[in-house]
């Protein structure tokens, strides 16, 4: 069965359409009006092997917060819809990933329960025009709307671009592991028999 989903969300602040394919090849077409964010989402798609089509229009004249958060909401809901009852998935994923001078660990549990922990401090408030605090805003929104456990730890790093890139790549690789079908897994990987919230 294809593991795909489409999400449309419109508010007074943003208008977003998103489609994903969990069993893709990492192809993406992304437009949010935030160049650095587009770059990070492209990396996410490439390293998760999740095909991602995304168009977002937001109130960027205010700032990028609403756009970034609402894209996170839509991506989380899309992941949830595409996963269905989560039968046969690996459920867990964990990656420690180097990015130049930076080292990041991301760990995921598709438990059906929301929990987000970030042990990350950026050395600068911005990368270009992008507010670095929005990295946590985005992943908090994703974790809440899957829902899933997501833990991100920055071991060390000096360059804010590299730190953000390491985070998006590490989370992508962890999610890639977690959503993968395990041929040995019969049904839902939980002693409770369900991974719903």
CATH number of the domain to which 14 belongs: 3.30.230.40
Average the pLDDT over 117-139 and give the result: 97
Evaluate if residue 184 carries a pLDDT over 80: no
Portion of the chain with pLDDT greater than 90, in percent: 88
189 or 84: whose pLDDT is higher?
A: 84
pLDDT tens digits for 147-159? 999 999 999 999 9
Does 185 fall in a domain? no
CB-side neighbour CA atoms (13 Å) of 115: 9
Does 18 fall in a domain? yes
pLDDT tens digits for 99-119? 999 999 999 999 899 999 999
Structure-block tokens of residue 180:
């993968």
Evaluate if residue 142 carries a pLDDT over 90: yes
Please count the structural domains in the chain.
Answer: 1
Average the pLDDT over 39-48 and give the result: 98
Q: Tell me how far apart the alpha carbons of residues 49 and 43 are, in angstroms, rounded to a whole number.
A: 10
Evaluate if residue 193 carries a pLDDT over 70: no
Q: Residue 182: CB partners within 8 Å, gap ≥ 6?
A: 88, 89, 90, 189
How many other C-beta atoms are found inside a 10 Å radius of the C-beta of residue 125? 10
Q: Which domain holds residue 12?
A: 4-179
Does 40 fall in a domain? yes
Q: What is the pTM of this model?
A: 0.94
Does 142 fall in a domain? yes
What torsion do the CA atoms of 68, 69, 75, 79 make, to the nearest 10 degrees?
Answer: 150
Average the pLDDT over 25-48 and give the result: 98
Does 113 fall in a domain? yes
Structural element, H or E, at residue 82: helix 65-83
Q: Tell me how far apart the alpha carbons of residues 107 and 93 are, in angstroms, rounded to a whole number.
A: 6
Geometric angle at alpha carbon 144, from 141 and 147, rounded to 5°: 135
């Amino acid at each position: 069965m294809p593991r795909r989903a489409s999400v449309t969300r419109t508010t007074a602040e943003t208008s977003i359409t998103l489609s994903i394919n969990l069993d893709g090849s990492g192809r993406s077409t992304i437009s949010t009006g935030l160049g650095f964010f587009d770059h990070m989402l492209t990396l996410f798609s490439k390293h998760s092997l999740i095909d991602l089509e995304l168009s977002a229009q937001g109130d960027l004249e205010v700032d990028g917060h609403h756009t970034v958060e609402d894209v996170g909401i839509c991506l989380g809901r899309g992941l949830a819809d595409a996963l269905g009852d989560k039968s046969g998935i690996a459920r867990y994923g964990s990656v420690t990933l180097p990015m130049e001078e930076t080292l990041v660990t991301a760990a995921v549990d598709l438990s059906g329960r929301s929990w987000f922990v970030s042990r990350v401090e950026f050395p600068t408030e911005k990368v270009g025009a992008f507010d670095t605090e929005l990295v946590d805003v985005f992943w908090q929104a994703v974790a809440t709307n899957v829902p899933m456990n997501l833990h991100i730890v920055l071991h060390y790093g000096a360059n804010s671009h590299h730190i953000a890139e390491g985070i998006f790549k590490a989370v992508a690789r962890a999610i890639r592991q977690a959503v993968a079908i395990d041929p040995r897994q019969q049904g839902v990987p939980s002693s409770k028999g369900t991974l719903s919230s």
